[in-house]
Amino acid sequence: DTEVTQTPKHLVMGMTNKKSLKCEQHMGHRAMYWYKQKAKKPPELMFVYSYEKLSINESVPSRFSPECPNSSLLNLHLHALQPEDSALYLCASSQGSPGTGIYGYTFGSGTRLTVV
């Protein structure tokens, strides 16, 4: 299995809702990432988990809450989002810790989030 699987593919939520995005990989990768991508822009890093511990939080608002239950799963909990949070949310994984430079990244197909 060489894939990163993200669910759901599409999500529409109100500003008072609580929802979660899920990401799963079975490649034995020990680093997992959340990226946010706005239209016609490159992906921007949100969170990095290394060996199931949060190692980087790029000053993301607290309405986004990551969770890494085990080395294969990564969740992103959403609460009280704003319309400007509408974007494509991408999960990625890589072998080894993030600072180990030689490994490439594998990305999922993303969750298209719309906040209304």
Partner 1 sequence: KQEVTQIPAALSVPEGENLVLNCSFTDSAIYNLQWFRQDPGKGLTSLLLIQSSQREQTSGRLNASLDKSSGRSTLYIAASQPGDSATYLCAVKFVAGANNLFFGTGTRLTVIP
Closest CB 11 distance from partner 1, rounded Å: 13
Among residues 19, 22, 63, 112, the one that binds partner 1 under rule CB under 8 A = 112
Q: What's the rounded Cα separation, in Å, for the pair 52 and 56?
A: 12
| Alpha-carbon torsion angle 21, 70, 109, 7, nearest 10 | -40
Pairing label, strands 31-37, 10-13: unpaired
Q: What's the rounded Cα separation, in Å, for the pair 70 and 23?
A: 11
Question: What distance lies between CA 57 and its chain's CA centroid?
Answer: 12
Instruction: Single out the segment in contact with partner 1 by CB under 8 A; choices: 11-19, 37-45, 59-67, 75-83.
Output: 37-45
And the tokens for 77?
């909990």
Among residues 11, 108, 113, 115, the one that binds partner 1 under rule CB under 8 A = 108
Q: Taking CB under 8 A as the criterion, which residues in 40-99 touch partner 1?
A: 41-43, 45, 48, 55-56, 88, 90, 92, 98-99
Residue (43 or 66) nearer to partner 1, CB: 43
And the tokens for 7?
């669910």
Among residues 17, 20, 75, 107, the one that binds partner 1 under rule CB under 8 A = 107
Site residues (vs partner 1, CB under 8 A): 4, 6, 41-43, 45, 48, 55-56, 88, 90, 92, 98-102, 104-110, 112
